[in-house]
Homo-oligomer: A and B are copies of this chain.
Amino acid sequence: MLKFYFDLMSQPSRALYIFLKVTKIPVEFVKIDLKKAEHLTDEFKAVNRFQKVPCIVDGDFQLSESVAIFRYLIETRNGVAENWYPKELKTRALVDEFLEYQHNAVRLPCAMYFQTKFLIPIFSGKPVNEERVRSFKKQMENSLDALENIWLQSTEKEFLATKEISFADVLAACELEQPKMAGYNTFEGRPKLTKWYERVKEVTNPYYDEAHVIVNKVIQKNKSKL
């Protein structure tokens, strides 16, 4: 049985969790609690040498990196609807283009904004480094504007790379939740991105909301504070 190791506070963990639930790939879900540092144990190091989530174990085969895991599952599991990773080579290449683009253009600034503005001050007890927050905010806003004005520019497709939803959309949506926990609404003032976000949730619910229960609690809690 395939084992999936995850923590729902991790963006790519949530994306794979939603993908696995929607596609009903048979899998055992194994929670690794990052807050309890369960990823730093020797036991988990034997599962993933990089000691990060998400990762999988399939028989004796170990694999990390969400996008690599996604591609491996597409190739080795039957019955996954084609829209998640189209077989037509040019359409597939456009999904790949986003999957590679997002690492530094989307994930990095969104995660770093969340960390510098919210996570690091809480865990270190030190004041917010406002200069770093400003720098990541600027990068993040450039990135969000590129999603709104370049990726979602075409009227021929409803999703980032394709007409129907692909894994690119789920991965991106999960990354865009992270800054909301630090009080920044990534969708406000971006109408195309807002509509796209609603479509992603519509296609993937109830699993999208299920993956975001804790994240949404943090967002609600911080709305009043920030």
Contact = CB atoms under 8 A, between A and B. Distances in A.
A150 B100 contact: no
Contacts of A50: 101, 146, 150
A67 interface: yes
A93 interface: yes
A225 interface: no
Q: Give the oligomeric copy count.
A: 2
Contacts of A94: 63
B101 A104 contact: no
A183 to B, nearest CB: 24
A92 B69 CA distance: 11
Of the candidates A75, A76, A96, A146, the one having the most CB atoms from chain B within 10 angstroms of its own CB is A96
A77 to B, nearest CB: 11
Nearest to A75: B89
Interface residues of A, number: 29
A134 interface: no
Interface of A: 49-50, 61, 63-68, 71-72, 75-76, 89-90, 92-94, 96-97, 99-101, 103-104, 107-108, 146, 150
29 contacts: A50-B146, A50-B150, A61-B90, A61-B93, A63-B93, A63-B97, A64-B101, A65-B96, A65-B97, A66-B100, A67-B100, A68-B93, A68-B96, A68-B97, A68-B99, A68-B100, A71-B96, A72-B89, A72-B90, A72-B93, A75-B89, A75-B92, A76-B89, A100-B103, A103-B103, A103-B104, A104-B104, A104-B107, A104-B108
Given A50-B101, A72-B90, A75-B92, 18 more contacts: A50-B146, A50-B150, A61-B90, A61-B93, A63-B94, A64-B101, A65-B97, A65-B100, A67-B96, A68-B93, A68-B96, A68-B97, A75-B89, A75-B93, A76-B89, A100-B103, A103-B103, A104-B104
